[in-house]
Amino acid sequence: MTKVINSYDFEKYLKQTKKVIEEALDFSLGPENPEILRESMRYSLLAGGKRIRPILCLASCSLAGGEPSLAVPTAVAIEMIHTMSLIHDDLPAMDNDDLRRGRPTNHKVYGDAVAILAGDALLTRAFEMVSLRSPGVDPNRLLNVIGELSLVAGAPGLVGGQVVDLECEGKEVDLDTLEYIHLHKTGALLKACVRTGAMIAGANEKLLQALTTYAEGIGLAFQIIDDILDLTSSSEKLGKTAGKDLLADKTTYPKLLGMEESKKRAFDLVEKAKKAIEPWGADANHLISLADFITNRDR
């Protein structure tokens, strides 16, 4: 599939927005005490990456007619939640991963105890960002954002998905279970990105529903592509251990559906996602380009 270039400069938007996010992430962590906690939190939060989630959040705020700078603390909160889930999932007690974004995982550098606690600290800081560090936003909107984040980060979202995932390791898993895991481990947070961004702008239920459909589509597509890349990319390119799903005998889309069908499904999902927000015309440009960007990523 070819990359869609919109008439507006998406690359520029991406670059500028990423810069805003990186600065806000850097600023979100203070001196912290003790020093090793500070280092561990910074190590993972400022480890680079595409920052797709916070960008989705700001782009949705724009689409909903809001001033995106008002959504920056929420975007940072989302990246903190994402980061803490990676730190905890990588632990020896869970996925036991040594590499993440091309570098040793947090517990490999700081030990399991500090890694667990740095994750806890990032999770709580996320709620601090929205409750105390989001000036200029209506308190009811902020409460809704906090509610949304508490649901997707917890048992009904990331945590529940991860427990089901752990339970399924080494077992035969059907497509329904696989999608359950992905909808909770990946989809829930992506949905929260677009919904919270729009909530900050006071979006109505119709738009929130369209954004939910959009996020479910790209969320699942994102995961299918992750499965594909685990098979086709090198560890170096991937920035994490490649072929790990195969080694762990994990059920993946390519394994269940075959490579071609998996690719087709990812493509269809992205098309469906884009269609959901088409009614918003040019205002949806960022999100439409982001959907393509996510599906065309080569790592």
- Nearer Cβ to a second copy (125/274): 125
**What pairs with residue 99 in β-bridges?**
104
d(CA 55, CA 76): 10
Nearer to a second copy among residue 172 and residue 298 (C-beta): 172
**137 versus 273: smaller Cβ distance to a second copy:** 137
Cα gap 124→133, rounded to integer Å: 13
Tokens of 299: 């790592």
Q: How far is the CB of 18 from a second copy (least distance, A)?
A: 25
**Cβ-Cβ contacts under 8 Å for 260 (sequence gap 6 or more):** none
Q: Report CA Rg, the chain.
A: 18
- Shortest separation between residue 120's beta carbon and a second copy, angstroms: 5
- The 8-class DSSP code of residue 266 comes to H
Minimum distance between the CB of residue 144 and a second copy, rounded to whole angstroms? 8
Nearest to 162 by CA among 69, 228, 89: 89
Look up tokens 């730190």; give the residue.
87
Token duo for residue 164: 């089901």
Shortest Å distance, C-beta 28 to a second copy:
11
Minimal distance, residue 151 CB to a second copy, in Å: 6
Footprint of a second copy (CB under 8 A): 32-34, 36-38, 41, 84, 88, 91, 93-94, 111-114, 116-117, 119-121, 123-128, 130-132, 139-140, 142-144, 146-147, 149-151, 153-156, 158-160, 162-164, 166-167
CA neighbor of 140 nearest in space, from 76, 78, 202: 202
Distance in Å, CB of 211 to a second copy, minimum:
19
Cβ closer to a second copy: 6 or 124?
124
CB of 91 to a second copy, least distance (A): 7
Give the other-Cβ count within 10 Å of 113's Cβ.
Answer: 9
Alpha-carbon distances, residue 177 vs 171, 188, 229, 246 (angstroms): 11, 15, 21, 18
Omega of the bond prior to 156 within 30 degrees of 0, cis? no
Q: Considering beta carbons, is residue 151 or 228 the nearer one to a second copy?
A: 151
CB of 41 to a second copy, least distance (A): 7
31 or 281: whose CB is closer to a second copy? 31
Residue among 201 and 277 whose Cβ is closer to a second copy? 201
Cα–Cα distance list, 276 to 78, 207, 209 (Å): 23, 9, 9
- Closest C-alpha among 82, 69, 217, 60 to residue 149: 82
Residue 126 or 288: the one with the smaller Cβ distance to a second copy is: 126
